[in-house]
Amino acid sequence: MPASFGGRLSSVLDIKMKEGNSKDFNVTGGIGSISSRLTVEGPILRERSSFMVSGRRTYVDVFFPLFNNDDLKQSTLYFYDLNAKLNLTLNPNNRIFVSGYFGRDMFGRDINEFGFGNQTLTARWNHIFKHNLFMNTTLISSNYTYFL
């Protein structure tokens, strides 16, 4: 790892959210054996603003009532994630981004349940003063919840 990330034994997970397509509408998704996903993105004002909404959810718990096992019928097991982003270009020197992430994981049976979740909301303003000087101003709200 480079020194800017701590050097030697450091590790970095660099996550970047898609901007959203500012020219065309796009819908992508997939159906899997235990979860499915869907992403919708497109322009709000062509070439000036865009949105992106993406989600996924497991559905193993939907099949539990079909089994002849009472323990499974009483069980809870799922997770979901939802990502959303708005991107607005005010002018060549000013851009505004608003994004959010919402997720929850649930496991349990009868009165024994465990769950946790995250919620984040971010607003960012990017201003370019000149070609080699810019400013990013960010407001972030986050909430982590769990219960047992």
- Residue 17 to residues 20, 35, 61, 78: CA-CA distances in angstroms? 9, 21, 29, 24
Instruction: Report the pLDDT averaged over residues 110-120.
Output: 88
Are 74 and 61 contacting, i.e. CB atoms less than 8 angstroms apart? no
- Tens of pLDDT, residue by residue over 20-66, are 888 899 999 999 988 999 999 999 988 899 999 999 999 888 888 88
Picking from 19-23, 72-76, 127-131, which range would have the lowest pLDDT averaged per residue? 72-76
13 vs 117: CA distance, rounded Å: 20
Nearest partner of 80 among 116, 54, 45, 104, judged by Cα: 104
Strands 94-109 and 112-130: antiparallel
Per the listing, tokens 């992106």 go with 52
Are 104 and 131 contacting, i.e. CB atoms less than 8 angstroms apart? no
Domain ranges of the chain: 17-147
Structure tokens at 133: 């000087």
Q: What is the pLDDT of residue 3?
A: 62
121 vs 82: CA distance, rounded Å: 12
pLDDT score of 82 more than 90: yes
Q: Which amino acid is at 94?
A: N
For the chain, give the percent of residues with pLDDT over 90. Answer: 59
